Structure 1
Amino acid sequence: MNGRHKAIAAAFKLMATTGADRWSRGFAQGAGVILTLHHVRPHAPQGFSPNALLEITPEFLDTTLWLIRAEGYDIVSLDEALLRLQQPKRGRFFVALTFDDGYRDNVEHAWPVLAKHGVPWTLFVTPGFADRTARLWWLELEEAIRVLPRLDVVLPDGRFSARTETDSEKSRAFDKLYWRLRRGPEELLLSAISELAAEAGIDPAALVERECLPWETLRALSGAPGVTIGAHTLTHPMLAKHDAETARREIAGSKARLEAELGMPIHPFAYPVGDSGSAGPREFALAQEAGFVSAVTTRPGHLFAEHAEHLQALPRVSLNGLHQNEVALRALLSGLPFWLRNRGRKLDLA
């Protein structure tokens, strides 16, 4: 856990100690919240785990669902969440659960917990992952750095070199290179990581095969009670980094492909990466144009009545794997961290 995450943990603890996570609910909590999850799987201790924030344990998922219910909150489907934005139930705070990318562990480890609690959930699927043609580039980068003792990458803005012999060196190198590549064109990011993966002997398609659900499982899952399938583009690009036609094809194409493969209408959409640098007003309009009833970002925040007029730009709150404890969870459900971050603004649409 780096300094930033330690500061976040300290802030959560302060909110609990002062009771702020309770007395702030009247103005910070809103009508409900959509939670973002990725991996759910047993903890496997590793010194170098830069993507650990994207995974929680089945035990913490169980704790999360138990605590939500203990607080008297309703766990609802994404469709029901939209309905409650438009037709509020006073005093009934709601929580909707969403899982991005379509990972195998969502079925193997998350679904049994969800079924035990009898709660609905939405799985956002990228057809390219089911096809084994899209790339989990953030995982490729992790696996390459895990193998390589040194990085030497030639980039347009200069060479990136770093020793990666120890776990701490690997963590520092990942963080620096990841964000340097994220700031540039996605084509450059994919090219640079391809070179590192090749140097380390990493097979990108094998990683996708290992991590992501195949079509046959998705077809079976799509008819299961309580499960909603949503679209997550064709190949998981950061849409705002591409031209309008590419973004339109990725958004509308994912809906068409999933409907053809699963034989059912697809109503919700999730923007890959989902921050302001990956999805903005253009993408919100394209999602509406493609016929999606709703679309979710990863811009952090709770849902307020005002979001009923902006259903293609809904915020979510991530269950961060680096903060798997009740103190953090209560803070997230209070809405206070996001009210402070957004300076009291309910909408973040720019």
Structure 2
Amino acid sequence: MSRRRDLMQLLSESRPTRLDPGESQLDLATLTAYPPQEPAQRAARPAARRRLVLTAGLVPALAVGALAVAVVVHQPAPTPRPEAARSVTPQSAAARQFLLAAADRVAGSEAGSGQYWQINMEVGDVREVGPANGRYDIAVRMGVEDWLATDPDGRSWTFFQRLGGRPISAADLAAWRRDGSPARWGDVSVAPGPRRLRTPEGVDSRQNYFLGSQSVTAAELTALPADPAALQAELSRRHADSQESRTEFLFWSGTSLVLDLPVSPEMRAAAYRMIAGLDGVTSLGAVTDQLGRTGVAIAYARRGDGGVPLQTRLILDPRTGRALAEETWRVGVPDRLVHYRAIVEAGWTDANPPTA
């Protein structure tokens, strides 16, 4: 079973030669690095630890009345998105209580089935732009749509679209306007690009996934125990080959299981319960993700390369237990968004993938 191919190779294969060379420099691999780092630090991150392909899975489709999926309309003119709440006192007890409640909700959801697990996500990387006396942040965004075949002999498909840059906060929007409302910042345009198919022939679905920083097969995912203690023991065994601390590895592995891997509701519930028992996991309370959805942020603080203080925020829907997004923030006064991945919609389908 082949390993997933690096995203830079993916984009190189899928980029038509007529595209603007500057615009093509957008590095989707760095947008999905494990763990996400600030741009200046990513060059030192070993390539083997990158997410190799954006695919598959958030939560199986929940009851229609309970599952609220945001519809995002991308406008050429940039408008800021709400920032996550700041300066909220984190509480470990509140995080544990919320995660256990989310586990109960997810465990009771229907697993569903279909020819494909179809998922749309938006990834964003923050850059500082503008004149020396008026710097501001923009999010360099890309939309990714995956169709993961459930048939081991089937083909999977990936579509991507550069969504353009946009100021992040109201303050960034005001600074952009003072900058003359530029339509381009170097290699980043305000306007979205065309939606493109990764490769005309599709992708072999018999590929590896990343669980934390470890490569696993679909069969290995299915074989993971759906008991939190047993799951933690199995993941701890895998930690021997990882560079992170054991707790960090367990947190990232659990986050992968609840956010973007094709596993059962019982497995997601076990991952939530495992995360709830980890030291250093706190609640930031109510926040708004980068798609404007309200959720509760579960946070884990860590040190990035060079000792930079970072915080990962897993944002969950309190009504359904559904994982909405993952965000990385640099901790400071104020905190500063670095990177995000937001699930737009996900579910099982028997429809055929679009041709373009």
Band the TM-score falls in, shorter-chain normalisation: under 0.3
Q: Give the strand-richer structure, 1 or 2.
A: 2
TM-score (normalizing by structure 2): 0.27
TM-score (normalizing by structure 1): 0.27
